[in-house]
């Protein structure tokens, strides 16, 4: 998977995590086949189902998006598949336990801010609204792609 990085929008640990994700969804340069990791990759499993024409996926990382109303979202990684848009929020939290209380997340009783899940859900709405305006340009008969979100913990916090 090719990922377009916007300079200055990412921290070093986020770039490292994105490189790992990128490699997991990229073919081996010698064989052209995807690289299975500890068994088989998700990409291999999906290809094994006979799903053709769904790769390559594209990724866009480290950018800000502002809608017409001034609502803003900072995106660590957005992956565009054949039918979905995946928003990935990366959290590299280390040395401790992560807990949630209400809509706040804490690491070792230190308030880390609003829940990354809630924050990323807001980004889903921003992106869905933008995609809706351009659905007539899509090759899938004018349907807006499904937008999903994930928070990926990349550090060693429990």
Q: What tens digit of pLDDT does each residue of 27-45 get?
A: 655 555 554 444 555 556 5
115 by Cβ neighbours in 10 Å (0-12 / 13-18 / 19+) ranks as middle
Q: Which residues fall within 8 angstroms of residue 6, CB to CB, at 6 or more apart?
A: 60, 61, 62, 63
Q: Is the pLDDT of residue 49 over 70?
A: no
Q: Report the pLDDT value the prediction gives residue 51, as an integer from 0 to 100.
A: 46
pLDDT band for 54, please (50, 70, 90 cuts). low
Q: Which has more pLDDT, 100 or 134?
A: 100
pLDDT by residue (tens digit) across 96-120? 999 999 999 999 999 999 999 999 9
For 11-35, give one letter per residue: b (16+ CB within 10 A) or e.
eeebbebbeebbeebbeeeeeeebb
Q: Average the pLDDT over 116-136 and give the result.
A: 90
Q: Report the pLDDT value the prediction gives residue 36, as an integer from 0 to 100.
A: 47
The verdict on pTM exceeding 0.85 is no
């Amino acid at each position: 998977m090719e990922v377009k990085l916007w300079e200055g929008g990412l921290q070093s640990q986020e770039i490292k995590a994105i490189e790992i994700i990128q490699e997991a969804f990229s073919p081996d340069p010698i064989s052209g086949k995807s690289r299975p990791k500890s068994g088989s990759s998700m990409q291999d499993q999906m290809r094994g189902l006979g799903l053709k024409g769904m790769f390559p996926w594209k990724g866009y990382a480290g950018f800000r998006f502002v809608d017409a109303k001034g609502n803003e979202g900072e995106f660590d990684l957005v992956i565009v598949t054949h039918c979905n848009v995946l928003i990935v929020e990366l959290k590299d939290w280390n040395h401790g336990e992560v807990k949630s209380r209400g809509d706040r997340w804490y690491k070792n009783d230190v308030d880390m801010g609003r829940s990354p899940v809630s924050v990323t859900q807001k980004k889903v709405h921003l992106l869905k609204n933008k995609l809706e305006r351009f659905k007539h340009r899509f090759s899938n008969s004018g349907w807006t792609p499904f937008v999903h979100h994930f928070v990926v913990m990349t550090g060693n916090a429990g």
